[in-house]
Amino acid sequence: LWSEKNGGANPEEAETVKLLCMSPPIEKMDSSLNQLVNVKHLALSTNCIDKMISLPALKNIEVLSLGRNLIKKISGLEEIGSTLKELWISYNQISALDGLAPCVKLTTLFISNNKIKDWPELDKLQANQ
């Protein structure tokens, strides 16, 4: 499937991977994403993903787009927080900003239309700037 949609390119070489609005929708992030060792922009928006996982092999990732999924908690960013600049997680089921502390280079956070009531983690992010 990857080769068909990407002109035969190897997933290990891709810098941008967009798996948006898949049919059937992606339900889980799994360790196969760790094959994308050169990816800088990973877009998994508009699927049915309910949990973020750690992606230790994505050492170059700068943009992670997970908007319009079913994610309830921000997690798994410890391994990519040192390179991640943009996190797009609007339109999910997130109720707290816990889990953003590892994102020391984060400059863009799209998190509208979630269930967040408290914003203390935002102050910590601003202190990183």
CA distances from 69 to 15, 30, 73, 91 (A): 22, 15, 11, 7
Identify which of 48, 63, 3, 55 has the alpha carbon closest to the alpha carbon of residue 30: 55
- pLDDT above 70 (res 107): yes
Q: Is the bond preceding 24 in cis, omega lying within 30 degrees of 0?
A: yes
Q: Which of 14-23, 35-44, 119-128 has the lowest mean pLDDT?
A: 119-128
The fold of the 1-129 domain, in CATH, is 3.80.10
Joined together, the tokens standing for residue 25 give 């929708």
CA atoms within 13 A on the CB side of 43: 11
Mean pLDDT of the chain: 90
Higher pLDDT pick, 46 / 125: 46
pTM over 0.85: yes
